[in-house]
């Protein structure tokens, strides 16, 4: 680590198991998507059983340590999208483009309300080649990997706009300037198609990654 920096353990077993992403809401609560059935053996036995989850972790004392751990949403099929939104959390699972809004109405840290937030329809095929991300970029659009569209949440409704393919597989983030960055995890090449804003699609220049 660079001088002046250090690492601290935030969460570990048994509070989480097989985490694949973590996001935070406006109150500092951490939501962790746990793919608990992904490749448990070489034959991927039970992989599509709906027994994965999204857990929630909260610091209730203000000491910077998570001391409250709950299963916010349970019995999910390999969740891959989590986005805190007002008092709801948007969750997307494997094999569907539908997005659901979950809400905890009684404050026990467990969602007890679920509504369809965006109807995208079914999505099959290789479970590694399905959308992830759903980050809220500075241009007020919501982006995912793979999907040839972006979403906007305006006045309580979800708007959809078609855009060219983005080429992303798993990694998705944005920088301080609001530029969205995608990663093609299959190629182990790091960020891709970064020469232009993603709504204009994939654009690759020979040698842009320094390997040619």
Neighbours of 88 (CB within 10 A): 19
Give the tens place of pLDDT for each residue, 109-122.
999 999 999 999 99
Is the pLDDT assigned to residue 155 strictly greater than 60? yes
Query: pLDDT per residue over 94-107, tens digit each?
Result: 999 999 999 999 99
Domain holding 84, by residue range, is 1-130
Cα dist. 131→12, 79, 168, 174, 182 in Å? 26, 11, 9, 17, 12
Q: Are residues 88 and 172 in the same domain?
A: no
Q: How many domains does the chain have?
A: 2
Check if the beta carbon of residue 37 is closer than 8 Å to that of residue 46.
Answer: yes
Verify that 118 and 146 share a domain, yes or no.
Answer: no
On average, the pLDDT of the chain sits at: 87
- Most confident region among 51-65, 118-132, 168-182 by mean pLDDT: 51-65
What DSSP string runs through 172-194?
EEE-TT--EEEE-GGGT--EES-
Of 99, 130, 161, the position where a domain reaches its end is 130
E strand spans, 98-193: 99-103, 113-118, 133-136, 142-144, 149-154, 157-162, 172-174, 180-183, 191-192
**What is the pLDDT confidence band of residue 61, given thresholds at 50, 70 and 90?**
very high
Q: Answer whether 82's CB lies under 8 Å from 29's CB.
A: no
Look at residue 186 in the predicted model and tell me its pLDDT.
64
**Claim to verify: residue 84 and residue 146 sit in the same structural domain:** no
Does residue 148 surpass a pLDDT of 90?
no
Whether residues 56 and 119 share a domain: the answer is yes
Of 130, 150, 173, the residue at which a domain comes to its end is 130
Domain boundary among 102, 130, 158: 130
Do 108 and 178 belong together in one domain? Answer: no
Same domain, 57 and 141: no
Is the domain of 66 the same as that of 156? Answer: no
Span 47-73, mean pLDDT?
94
Q: How far is CA 102 from CA 17, 95, 137, 200, in A?
A: 21, 19, 21, 32
Q: How confident is the model at residue 54 (pLDDT cuts 50, 70, 90)?
A: very high
Beta bridge partners of 75: none
- pLDDT at residue 165 tops 60: yes
Greatest mean pLDDT among 101-110, 117-126, 175-184, 187-196 lies in 101-110
Q: Answer yes or no: is pLDDT of 188 > 70.
A: no
Which of 48-60 are b and which e, b meaning 16 or more Cβ less than 10 Å from the residue's Cβ?
A: eeeebbbbbbbee
Give residue 92's pLDDT. Answer: 96
pLDDT of 104 reads 97
Higher pLDDT, 210 or 183: 183
Tell me: do 94 and 156 sit in the same domain. Answer: no
């Amino acid at each position: 680590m660079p001088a002046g920096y250090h690492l601290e353990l935030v969460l570990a077993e048994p509070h989480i198991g097989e985490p694949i992403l973590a996001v935070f809401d406006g109150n500092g609560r951490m939501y962790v998507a746990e793919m608990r059935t992904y490749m448990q053996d070489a034959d991927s036995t039970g992989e599509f059983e709906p027994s994965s989850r999204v857990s929630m972790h909260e610091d209730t004392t203000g000491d910077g340590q998570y001391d409250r751990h709950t299963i916010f949403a349970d019995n999910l099929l390999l969740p891959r999208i989590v986005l805190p939104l007002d008092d709801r959390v948007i969750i997307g699972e494997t094999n569907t483009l539908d997005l659901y809004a979950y809400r905890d109405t009684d404050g026990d840290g467990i969602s007890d309300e679920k509504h369809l937030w965006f109807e995208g329809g079914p999505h099959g095929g290789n479970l590694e080649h399905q959308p992830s991300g759903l980050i809220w970029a500075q241009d007020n659009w919501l982006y995912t990997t793979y999907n040839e569209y972006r979403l906007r949440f305006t006045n309580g409704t979800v708007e959809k706009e078609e855009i060219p393919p983005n080429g992303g597989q798993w990694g998705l983030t944005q920088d301080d300037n609001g530029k969205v960055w995608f990663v093609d995890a299959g190629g182990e090449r790091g960020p891709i198609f970064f020469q232009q804003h993603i709504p204009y699609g994939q654009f690759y220049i020979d040698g842009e990654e320094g390997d040619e």
